Structure 1
């Protein structure tokens, strides 16, 4: 980057002040939250994320330095948002992955639903296969209920994601049913939320690194210690306590 294109020190300072302001707004929104899914908290979070990202970029361009900020669930592959400022419609795209870890439990739950269905004939045995059991359970229960009770159905959660995309107008009935996910425009993604075990693995790796640093520091302390002091400590530990009755 040329010197002419670099941000000024004042611009970097202004970006830092914007982060401080966004932090205050986020804290205020959290303190006033009305529930777990308070939209004001999400809005403040997104504003803070945007301010932190802008500051990070300016700081790097000006001083070749970075910040420790990392936005959970952020996806650098998404292009900048170019959708309407005030959408008249939106689409919520959800993907949840599961592993079938207990097929027998899955089919047993499906048999219960099948047995309670008055329309099912006596010879019906759709629940006898994993494929059929999945069709019964996902036809009977809402996806959110399956997500909250997945262990009861013999399932194990894997990665999941939720995308909210903006639209100028609602789609016509049946317009996208044949290919519901093929017309998603990444530039109209308002926000997305990801859940993945990879995030937990990253946290575990960081904790392991911290433990390794502590072990190295302890080893360095032992190496720097006076050998005579270490011997004296060992001798003190080997001494038996005095028997007062012998005195």
Structure 2
């Protein structure tokens, strides 16, 4: 890049100030959040991610230096190409669980079936039948918040917000509810994974071993949220 095309020192400084302001807004949103999926926190995270990326690019172009910030993105990196103002949208959620205590899961289902005539627990249904009873009784968000009570262990989870041209007709996609989603229609994606904790722990261990506290590697972020 020629000197004429380089960002100015003032532009780099302005980008740094934008990161500071975005950090303040993100912290303020976190401090007043109303739940684990607070939209204000998501919006502030996205703004912080964009500001950090802009600053990182300008800093590198001007001074050939990098920041320790790493904003995780989906591995495929598919860009959003849908409408800027979608008329409708779909929310797709995947949450993984391991059944670590089958007797506890079955006991919870038996308790529900004992008090609800519509919740029929097949005697030989095992954990498969128990899951049908529990998810028929409780909302998925309640099970996610009480998973230990049901003998479950959390795995990764992801939430996608995908744009649509118009609201689907009743029953239109029920035979294949997830097959119609194009990755390029995903406006926002939020991931939660223990991999963020593991990466952070690994960095911390390496930093302890280094007398100067610097590993020579970029420090991974642990946002728990991944914008599309």
Q: Which bin holds the TM-score, normalised by the shorter protein? A: 0.7 to 0.9
Distance 2:57 2:76 in 1: 16
- Where does residue 77 of structure 1 map in the other structure? 76
Note the 1:126-141 alignment, pairs <5 A: 126=123, 128-141=125-138
Distance 2:3 2:183 in 1: 32
Distance 2:56 2:106 in 1: 51
Residue 117 and residue 17 in structure 1: after superposition, are their counterparts in 2 closer, same or farther (change >3 A)? closer
RMSD: 2.9
Distance 1:5 1:103 in 2: 67
Contact 2:87–2:165 (CA under 8 A) maintained in structure 1:
yes
How far off is 1:137 after superposition?
A: 1.2
How far off is 1:147 after superposition?
A: 0.8
Q: Which sections of structure 2, spanning at least 5 residues, go unmatched?
A: 214-228
How far off is 1:56 after superposition?
A: 1.6
How far off is 1:49 after superposition?
A: 0.9
Give the paired residue count.
211
CA distances 1:117-166 after superposition (whole Å, capped 9, x unpaired): 32578xx6346411111111111211011111111111111111111122
- Where does residue 96 of structure 2 map in the other structure? 97
Q: Which sections of structure 1, spanning at least 5 residues, go unmatched?
A: 217-247
Normalised to the residue count of structure 1, the TM-score between the two structures is 0.72
Residue 48 and residue 156 in structure 1: after superposition, are their counterparts in 2 closer, same or farther (change >3 A)? same
How far off is 1:200 after superposition?
A: 1.0
- Where does residue 222 of structure 2 map in the other structure? none
- Where does residue 151 of structure 1 map in the other structure? 148
- Where does residue 203 of structure 1 map in the other structure? 200
Contact 1:111–1:127 (CA under 8 A) maintained in structure 2:
no
**Structure with the largest fraction of helix:** 1
Q: Which of the numbers 155, 164, 188 marks the counterpart of 1:191?
A: 188
1:8 matched to 2:36: no
Q: Which of the numbers 168, 171, 174 marks the counterpart of 1:174?
A: 171
